[in-house]
Chains A and B, each alone.
Chain A
Amino acid sequence: MNTIDPKTLLPTTSAESSASGLDAAKHKDKKDLVFVNLGPSHPATHGCLRALCALDGETIVAAVTEMGYLHRGFEKDTEVHSFQQVIPYTDRLNYVSAIMNNVGYCKAVEKMLGIPIPDRAMVLRVITCELNRIIDHLVCAGANLVDIGALTNFWYAFNAREKVYDILEKLCGARLTSSYTRIGGLSRDTYPAFADEVKAVLKDIRKSVAEINKLVSKNRIFVDRTQGVCVISKERAISYGWTGPTLRACGVEYDLRKAEPYYHYEDFKFEVPVGTKGDTYDRIFVRLYEIEESAGIIEQALRKLPKGPVMTDDKRVALPPKQETYGNIEGLMNHFKIIMHGICPEPGEVYDSTEAANGELGFYIVADGSKNPYRVKCRPPCFMNFAAFHEMIEGGMIADAIANLGSINIIAGELDR
């Protein structure tokens, strides 16, 4: 009886293969494998990541990964900078959603100092964080779809993202590296047309997401390329410490905004989208659905945006108004103290976390009473995602690995710190 051997695509007789002992399913010889480096420098690795894959035909049978190509010593740098000076460094962690890192870091320091931030600053932090979550998800989904050949979606996603960046640029003067927060509040208030522009951009975002949905959700090629591909079980994902959209794609309804609400997230009405399979398809669609939820949160937040200051008046962290600095001795001394002596939390150790676009972004800060942090440890959510990458891609093809890499949204700036 003639059969096609899938390994060689040559007809063989079953009697022959079993007689010669070359049954492909049983015999595993290292000499038959081809070793291919995926990355480190390749457009599809989005940053600098490396996976060494052992290929049997087109199938990846084993993979190991390497990281650290973008390691620049963020944690060491924090130890020679004051608490305020660390904020710009946090922009460069997840540079796709910089404000969420600013907020995560400042929230941890504020917890240490015991400083409550004004209501307006809190609501504005929610709005800017959710805008950042939207653009992060748009970049992730857009780039991921490009990697599997669906280029048009990229423009739909990036057009909307550009409009969000216009708003962020007006808000803080920078597109990517925003440094928008300060310890105790925000660097500046909004501009007059802010609410209207945000509402307009939400309309654009919804339109883009609807267009992406129309293009891909029932697209046969997309569905075949993503459904059931690079599946990770719920148990494995939890054991790897996954959080955020990638964990929710496995069917675990865990979101820090619901589980441990901060900034009054419990008062906002929103759903937490979850997947069922934990495959590439679920990871992309959990993000696309989250965009809608974030848009809803922003609309609610705009409705309840209170008037008032955006910076606390706590003298330990807030610079006095300029007329105070130039007008009286207390203001001048206060200014001098904060610039020269810095913000000095009491000695202690704190861990605080927020739900960033990729999952739980945590900062463990050790203070020794001086103006510099003694030690800062950042918990980047995609570190845990990338740790599982090698076992997810085994059994699939190189093209599946690329599709998967996009869906777990590895941001090298955050991964390597």
Chain B
Amino acid sequence: MEKEKLFEKLKEKHPQTILGSADRFGALEIQVDRNAIADVVRTLRDDAELAFNVLVDLVSIDYSAYPGWTGERFGLAYLFKSLTLGHRAQLKVAVPEGEPVVPTLSGLYANSDWLEREAYDQMGIRFTRHPNLKRILNHHEFVGHPLRKDYPITKRQWLSANESLMDEMEVRLKEKGYE
């Protein structure tokens, strides 16, 4: 589908929550209200004319050091691809510093679990109703979120104990019917 048509269609379905769009080197970025992201993504995935069945990536950005930036501190870019129709889409949500909370995409895409954990770990954005919002790349004793612009690149931390993983295992065993 043409990117302009895609925008029109989403705007028609979600008139309140589609906020605008921007050109990203040929790709169209569609800006979405953060509280409605799960609804919009559901439309993207389930509408037969859109059929975005792959969540390609989730990118978190801290704009606090961006020259001349006036918007909210954080941004999240969601990248989608449709394997059946071949087109791509790009959504962006603005996330305020005081309340860096966004609804999860868990249940829509299987890989959103780890992608959202990465955004939480690296940037400190929390995802409501995420089943297992733990650190993923950094050690579990790590303090702070390293990709925030106010985290000094030379800072070192002492990390000692390894993780037992039994908290995740207990959940998994319960799903498998073990008591």
A residues contacting B by CB (< 8 A) are 28-30, 33, 35, 50, 52, 54, 61-64, 66-68, 71, 73, 75-77, 79-80, 111-112, 236, 238-241, 243, 252, 254, 259-260, 347-351, 353, 360, 362, 364, 366, 368-369, 374-375, 377, 379, 383-384, 387-388, 390, 394, 416-417
Contact = CB atoms under 8 A, between A and B. Distances in A.
B85 to A, nearest CB: 11
A240 B110 CA distance: 5
Interface of B: 24-25, 27, 29, 53-57, 59-62, 65-67, 77, 79, 83, 86, 90, 109-111, 113-114, 122, 135-139, 146-147, 151, 153, 163, 165-166, 168-169, 172-173, 175-179
Contacts of B25: 111-112, 348-350
B179 A374 contact: no
Given A348-B24, A362-B56, A62 B146 contact: no
8 contacts: A54-B173, A68-B136, A348-B25, A350-B25, A360-B56, A366-B61, A390-B172, A417-B137
Given A240-B111, A364-B59, A417-B137, A64 B169 contact: yes
A76 B79 contact: no
Contacts of A388: 110
A267 B120 CA distance: 43
A271 to B, nearest CB: 18
A75 B83 CA distance: 28
A231 B132 CA distance: 25
- Most A CB contacts (10 A, CB to CB) among B24, B53, B57, B83 go to B57
Contacts of B65: 374
A64 B165 contact: yes
Given A35-B169, A67-B137, 11 more contacts: A64-B165, A111-B25, A112-B25, A238-B53, A239-B111, A254-B83, A360-B56, A364-B79, A369-B67, A379-B79, A394-B176
Contacts of B59: 351, 364, 375, 377
Contact of B111 (A369, A387, A394): A387
A368 B24 contact: no
A349 B77 contact: yes
Given A71-B138, A362-B56, A241 B77 contact: no
Given A64-B172, A76-B146, A374-B66, A364 B57 contact: yes
Contact of B153 (A80, A240, A252, A369): A80
Nearest to A360: B56
- Most B CB contacts (10 A, CB to CB) among A71, A111, A350 go to A71
Contacts of B137: 67-68, 71, 416-417
Contact of B179 (A30, A350, A379, A383): A30
A67 B77 contact: no
B153 A76 contact: yes
Contacts of B66: 368, 374
Contacts of A417: 137
B57 A377 contact: yes
B28 to A, nearest CB: 12
A347 B22 CA distance: 13
Contacts of A63: 172
A206 B153 CA distance: 47
Nearest to B170: A30
A77 to B, nearest CB: 8
Contacts of A384: 111
B111 to A, nearest CB: 4
A33 B147 CA distance: 40
A138 B179 CA distance: 44
A73 B24 contact: no
Contacts of A243: 54
B141 to A, nearest CB: 12
Contacts of B86: 259-260
A62 B110 contact: no
Nearest to B61: A375
B121 to A, nearest CB: 9
B176 A29 contact: no
Nearest to A26: B177
Contacts of B113: 387
Nearest to A56: B178
A75 B59 CA distance: 11
Contacts of A61: 173, 176, 178
Contacts of B57: 351, 362, 364, 377, 379
Given A76-B146, A351-B24, A364-B79, A66 B179 contact: no
A312 B47 CA distance: 44
A62 B176 contact: yes
B178 A349 contact: no
A331 B36 CA distance: 54
A349 B24 contact: yes
A353 B168 CA distance: 33
A241 B169 contact: no
A69 to B, nearest CB: 10
